[in-house]
Amino acid sequence: MTRPYSTEPIRYRAYNNKNIDALPQFRNLGPEQRRAIQAVSHVLPFRVNNYVADNLIDWDDIPCDPMFQLTFPQEGMLSADDFERIRDLLDRDAPQDRVKEVVDDIRRRLNPHPAGQMELNVPSIDGVRQTGMQHKYRETMLFFPSQGQTCHAYCTYCFRWAQFVGMDDLKFANSEAASLERYVRSHPEVRDVLFTGGDPMIMRTGVLESYIRPLLEIDSLHTIRIGTKALAWWPYRFVTDTDADALLRLFDDVVDSGKHLAVMSHYSHPRELAPEIARTAVRRIQTTGATIRSQAPLIRQVNDRPDTWAAMWQKQVDLGIIPYYMFVERDTGPRQYFDVPLHRAYDVFTRAVRQVSGLGRTVRGPSMSCTPGKVVVDGIVDIDGERVFALKFLQGRDPDWVNRLFFAKYDEDASWIDDLEPAFADRFFFEDDGRPFQPARWRHFAVYAGAKSRGKGTPEISRQNRS
């Protein structure tokens, strides 16, 4: 494996299931492995680029290499039946519409939009649902710019995989900078806007700027966050791409306007921080006054060892990056291939966090981004002779839930909140008993201008957020 200890520009080249034969390293894989990759990539998104292939994947350690697992689809990501169905169709050179029918059927069974993100949390302006926005937590709204709904490479575990597979009804995005500005202006409770995707850093600087600049005039907005994996998948975006300098000037302007600019960087493995170009990208961003925070899910086959996380957090602290979240893999896509039981996730987190100093312990986890909010596994304890998970809301659809502890029966096999049963009670306190799931307090803040002007008593945002 060669590593680019130079920061000389290289040309971006993407590979997917149509042109992957052109990647030299792919041609060296065995025929069964190539067929499996072809079959699974008909269902799940697949994209790798020359930087990742040449510098992050250890081709002498295939198929176990974590970066290979992170980017190349594997047979086990589909059920045995589904895998055989697809491979059989491809082997028989079946008509495209028949392949598509089967592929669509499989995709719909993979829970393409977890945590109700297609139905819940979608705000409206003048009664029109804004499909590229989500307003789940009072202070933070998410914006999905339509030009940012791809990535420089795709993670095989991607929880937003449905964004990339060309099923229009499974996609949400918004190209209206004016709608974004209007919504944020009319919702002073929104302090943070998170640009997300896909990867907003796939956009040209001018496009990103057209969304960001109008927000700089809004006093009630404090923070602009950009969720990205470009620091790992294509760090040249911040160093040598033709508009890299313009991007940093935009970052300068955001910081000069008095807003906090947070680059929410998705790092899955310490190897992503090794190349000099990746470190140079970090340093360049930091010169603008922006902060970089790191987050990633805990994934079997990729980063399910404490030492991996400890090494990654230590490198991040060395570089001035703030470790932020370890997530639990979401209940979507090829989850059965990647998921780690909650008790193990807690153990990995605990043993990793013990290895870093206090500066690395800014990280929180293992956290589930689920329908009611962000729920962290805070402990496994015995109470009155019963073993339980201690869970805590880090974020809640109702702000009153934040920092609230609750308990679930210990279950060796549980890997998501839906697998858990309440301990010491009939139901979790947030479960719908006609009251708690309605974000009652939030309603006071969510003054929806359109609803108000039409004389409606209940702001639209509140109704959208009921489960």
> Distance from CA of residue 445 to its chain's centroid?
27
Q: To which residue do tokens 């140079």 refer?
A: 280
Q: Minimal distance in Å, beta carbon 202 to ligand SF4? A: 9
**Burial class of residue 185 in the structure, from the number of CB atoms within 10 Å of its CB (0-12 exposed, 13-18 middle, 19+ buried):** middle
Lay out the site mask for ligand SF4 across 149-188 (x = CB under 6 A, - = otherwise): --x--xx--x-x----------------------------
Query: Rule CB under 6 A: which of 326-355 touch ligand SF4?
Result: none
Q: According to the binding rule CB under 6 A, does residue 199 interact with ligand SF4?
A: yes
- C-beta closer to ligand SF4: residue 121 or 464: 121
Confirm if 373 and 394 have CB atoms less than 8 A apart.
yes
Query: Rule CB under 6 A: which of 244-273 touch ligand SF4?
Result: 266
Supply 19's token pair.
């042109």
Q: To which residue do tokens 């009630």 refer?
A: 220
Report how far apart, in Å, the C-alpha atoms of 9 and of each of 5, 6, 147, 236, 464 are: 12, 9, 24, 7, 46
Q: To which residue do tokens 């109470």 refer?
A: 383
Q: Minimal distance in Å, beta carbon 262 to ligand SF4? A: 16
Could you say which of 73, 148, 198, 323 contacts ligand SF4 (CB under 6 A)? 198
- C-beta closer to ligand SF4: residue 68 or 410: 68
- C-beta closer to ligand SF4: residue 198 or 235: 198
Report how far apart, in Å, the C-alpha atoms of 61 and of each of 65, 68, 258 are: 5, 9, 47
Could you say which of 66, 114, 123, 197 contacts ligand SF4 (CB under 6 A)? 197
Closest to 302 in 3D by CA, of 68, 110, 54: 68
Query: b or e along 268-290 (b: 16 or more beta carbons within 10 Å of the residue's beta carbon)?
Result: bbbbbbebebbbbbbebbbebeb
Q: Minimal distance in Å, beta carbon 325 to ligand SF4? A: 13
Could you say which of 42, 138, 171, 229 contacts ligand SF4 (CB under 6 A)? 229
- C-beta closer to ligand SF4: residue 136 or 266: 266
**Counting every residue, how long is the chain?**
467
Q: Minimal distance in Å, beta carbon 261 to ligand SF4? A: 19
- C-beta closer to ligand SF4: residue 151 or 391: 151
Q: Which helix (H) or strand (E) holds 248?
A: helix 244-256
Supply 164's token pair.
């990339």
Lay out the site mask for ligand SF4 across 113-152 (x = CB under 6 A, - = otherwise): --------------------------------------x-
Q: Minimal distance in Å, beta carbon 246 to ligand SF4? A: 23
Q: Minimal distance in Å, beta carbon 66 to ligand SF4? A: 14
Q: List all residues 6 or more positions away from 217 whose beta carbon is below 8 Å from its beta carbon.
A: none
Neighbours of 266 (CB within 10 A): 21
Q: According to the binding rule CB under 6 A, does residue 296 interact with ligand SF4?
A: no
Q: According to the binding rule CB under 6 A, does residue 192 interact with ligand SF4?
A: no
Strands 386-396 and 373-383: antiparallel
**Which residues of the shown chain bind ligand SF4 in the complex (CB under 6 A)?**
151, 154-155, 158, 160, 197-199, 229, 266
